[in-house]
Chain A
Amino acid sequence: MANPRIAVFARLANGNVAPVRVIEGGRTRLSRTSHAIAFDEKKDEIAVPNPFAEAVLFFRGGASGDEAPIRTIQGPRTLLEDNDELALDSVHGEVIVPTRQALLVFSTQANGDVAPLRIIAGPKTMIERARGIAVDPVNNIIAVGNRDPQGILIFNRTDEGDVAPKAIISGPKTGIYTTKGFTINAERKELIATVEARAVQVTRNLDESFVGIWNITDNGDVAPKAIIKGRDTLLIAPRGAALDMRHQEIFVIDKVQNSFFAYSWEKIMEGLRR
């Protein structure tokens, strides 16, 4: 929908249903083109980027209606630019914001014009138009999608400056044309990435894009260990993904379908190959 907003649905929502609440209105400072959102379970907060105002907004977890953010990271010292995504580490209290060529790490307590705690950037990082990001606070990695080399760059969570990735998942066996959204299953040490097939936004074909699951220790030209892919999945252009391990489910949102899907994690794991 053309209106900037965050829609909140019940976990068991199905079919054509209205959200149970909506955060929207002039006070929210939301814009469209927020390509990621994170929930901080520890602080009961929502974090969302506003790239058009070069800001990161934090809301109460139960925010509703035309409610203002409780904190906003914005200003010259933040170095924010083209910041349409983010990932949140509730264990260490950090939010990681990719820009085109850098990863900026802020405290989740940050408010106003604050400098990043750390910056990962420089030629050794190979970061080129980062797209999709996740942080694993248990196994201490950051995974980020990359344009060139096409694939997934994996850094140590505490990396800083011009550092090479500790691993790169890239190559023909990976099936990656472009990654869009990431999440991590820290307990199982698995990285889940949505992968958009070439030109699928034009062709709108089912059975081409997929959600891939890799081990966080994978490196090089490695096929995913399991996938969600095929006509029955209804996926065309998957974007973000989120896990609910208590109920053993994964949620995937699709840009072309203007929909989100819930899949059984156990069912996906039946296809496990390694």
Chain B
Amino acid sequence: MRTRLRKIFTALLILSGPAALLVFSQLGGNVVPLRHVHDPYPVFTDIAVDPDANVLAVTDENLFSLRTYDRDLSSNLVADPRTVVTGTKTGVDFICGVALDSLNRQIFAANNDTDSDVVVFNYDAQGNVPPVRSLRTASAGTWGVALDLTNNEMAVTVQHINKVEVYRREAKDDDKPLRIIQGQETGLSDPHGIFVDARNNELFVANHDSYHEVLTGESERNADAATIARGTFEPGAQPRATLNLRPSKGRFVDPAITIYARNAQGNAIPRRVIRGPKTELSLPMKIFVDTVHNELFVANSGTNSILVFSRTANGDAAPIRKIQGPGTGLRKPVGLFVDTKNDEVWATNPEDHSATVYRRTAQGNAAPLRTLRGAPQGTPATGIGNPGGIAYDPLREQILVPN
């Protein structure tokens, strides 16, 4: 009976489409906004560098673009990109993580939210062009992407379901991961940055403080949100979810860097966990292991800093140095890259439309060597990213927007 009703409804929807359009055309409503709060400039999220090719790539989650620049660009003006990949053909959406394949001259970038694909472009891709290939890593919430060119693999983090997925580097479409890390023992919680240290056979993940229990192998519980977003949802085509109210298992944990064997899989216990008050970790985003000098770099968004740890740090370990202070230009850094060839460390500052670069060994209130600007210096940033809610505070006559 229910199926028949659905079929009748679908038929009515098709048949009465023109009627519905007629009704809507009579309603008017094409109203010009009184005001429009919008940032017209690119907001740099993640960053990666190929020093041999002198290429720097950034993701822009505000205008949905993937940009490359000359690595050694030195100007305080708005930087002129080498390439800009943007548009509906590109698959670039709410783009977050980025990694460069220097051997094959390709850019890997991960979309977050409900268009959660990893898209791959050649270095010279320009404009509204399709990717060389794309991979559906998760239905929602992919954030970080890391390449392991030694073992020809790629790894991603999936925020929503506390998961790491490792694929062949050339995986595409609906290819399955070679292995995953997921489960109660893994210590994964709202994971963001990821790095594969092929030299020491380890995999590093940056975790935030919001934890909910996800079992090994569990898929996105709201996968239908992604089908709706992509426009492929049909009423009645999917089985109804069963009511499953269960004791909530969410809790807050300390932010942490979890370190696993490179080939760990399943409900793997981390080899080491950097966590505790001495670490100063707060909303850690991108991480990078400098295998030449055996150091771990963290874009520590919560304290406007870059933290540097020993590569083998464990437990409640203090950073061995940090870049932090008003002169650094660091503003809620998200992206990070260590360029050992040029002895530099890069960070992105989304709230300043900029990426700043420092001596690798810089510490304290160190001024950047150069600043890559996506907008004129001092341009305000709305900071609105992938918004969902809005509320009005009539007491203060203010508008509230969460990310």
Residues of A within 8 A of B (CB): 1-20, 22, 24-26, 29-39, 41, 44, 46, 48, 50-55, 61-62, 66, 74-82, 84-85, 99-102, 119, 121-123, 128-129, 131, 147-150, 171-173, 175, 177-178, 180-181, 196, 198-204, 210, 223-224, 226-234, 239-244, 246, 249, 251-264, 267-268, 270-271, 273
Contact = CB atoms under 8 A, between A and B. Distances in A.
A16 B32 contact: no
Interface stretch (B73-81, B164-172, B244-252, B360-368): B244-252
B369 interface: no
B243 A122 contact: yes
Contacts of B64: 256
A163 B383 CA distance: 42
Contact of A148 (B88, B235, B351): B235
A80 B248 contact: yes
Contacts of A99: 245
A232 B249 contact: no
Given A1-B350, A2-B285, A16-B382, A52 B396 contact: no
Contact of B235 (A13, A66, A150): A150
Contacts of A199: 230-232
A241 B250 contact: no
Contacts of B40: 16
A240 B32 contact: no
Given A13-B35, A172-B20, A102 B243 contact: yes
Given A3-B350, A178-B228, A39 B393 contact: yes
User: Which has the most chain A C-beta neighbours within 10 Å: B34, B88, B230, B403?
Assistant: B403
Contacts of A38: 391
B392 A259 contact: no
Given A199-B230, A253-B388, A18 B210 contact: no
Contact of B33 (A2, A234, A243): A234
B35 A12 contact: yes
B29 A233 contact: yes
Contact of A258 (B39, B190, B240): B39
Interface residues of B, number: 106
B396 A61 contact: yes
A88 B29 CA distance: 28
Contact of B241 (A16, A77, A129, A259): A129
A251 B39 contact: no
B399 A11 contact: yes
B389 A260 contact: no
A201 B230 contact: yes
A246 B29 contact: no
B388 A240 contact: yes
Contacts of A4: 208, 283, 403
B383 A32 contact: no
B392 A39 contact: yes
Interface stretch (B10-18, B131-139, B264-272, B309-317): B10-18
B30 A229 contact: yes
B383 A75 contact: no
Contacts of A14: 35-37
Contact of A84 (B238, B249, B388): B388
B380 A16 contact: yes
A113 to B, nearest CB: 8
A103 to B, nearest CB: 11
Nearest to A242: B392
B379 to A, nearest CB: 7
Interface string B273-312: 0000000001101000000000000000110000000000
Given A173-B19, A261-B35, A10 B231 contact: no
Given A100-B241, A129-B241, A260-B390, A148 B26 contact: no
Given A14-B36, A53-B212, A172-B13, 5 more contacts: A122-B243, A128-B240, A240-B387, A253-B388, A267-B31
A15 B38 contact: yes
B115 A19 contact: no
B153 interface: no
A81 B208 CA distance: 18
A241 B390 contact: yes
B334 interface: yes
Interface in B70-102: 88, 93, 96
Contact of A243 (B247, B251, B302, B392): B392
B31 A260 contact: no
Contacts of A61: 393, 395-396
